[in-house]
């Protein structure tokens, strides 16, 4: 698969929002951690890039085998070349999928 910088893509999978919302303690702050992140790792340099996610199909947790999706914006300054992409929920990354990004014209 090939992707372009500064472009929005939709990614599908399961458990994008993890198994719980994160922390909750009495009347203290409640910091939800079930927001999906998209992490892109350049295979040659090992540099990490995070893509903004938005317009999720659901923010429900523990969705089981139900397929969900989110949109992500590839950063404008991402490095070209072979990379892997993962969705991270509650700090737990998905299996990595390979793709390449062509050099901008």
Contacts of 71 (CB under 8 A, 6+ apart): 8, 9, 10, 11, 53, 54, 55, 56
Which CATH number among 3.40.50, 1.10.1060, 1.10.3470, 2.60.40 corresponds to the domain 2-101?
A: 2.60.40
- Name the least confident of 3-12, 46-55, 68-77: 3-12
Domain ranges of the chain: 2-101
* Per-residue pLDDT, 21: 59
pLDDT band at 68 (very low <50, low <70, confident <90, very high): confident
pLDDT band at 104 (very low <50, low <70, confident <90, very high): very low
Distance CA 10, CA 88 (A): 15
When the pLDDT of each residue in the chain is averaged and rounded to a whole number, the result is 79
DSSP letter, residue 79? P
> Each residue of 10-36: pLDDT tens digit?
888 777 776 555 566 666 666 666 678
């Amino acid at each position: 698969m090939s992707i372009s910088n500064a472009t929005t893509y939709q990614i599908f999978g399961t458990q994008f929002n993890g198994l719980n919302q994160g922390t909750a303690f009495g009347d203290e702050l409640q910091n939800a951690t079930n927001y999906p992140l998209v992490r892109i790792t350049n295979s040659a340099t090992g540099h990490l890039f995070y893509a903004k996610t938005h317009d999720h199909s659901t923010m429900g947790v523990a969705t089981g085998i139900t397929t969900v999706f989110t949109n992500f914006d590839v950063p404008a300054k991402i490095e070209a070349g072979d990379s892997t992409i993962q969705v991270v929920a509650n700090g737990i990354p998905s299996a990595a999928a390979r793709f390449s990004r062509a050099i901008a014209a």
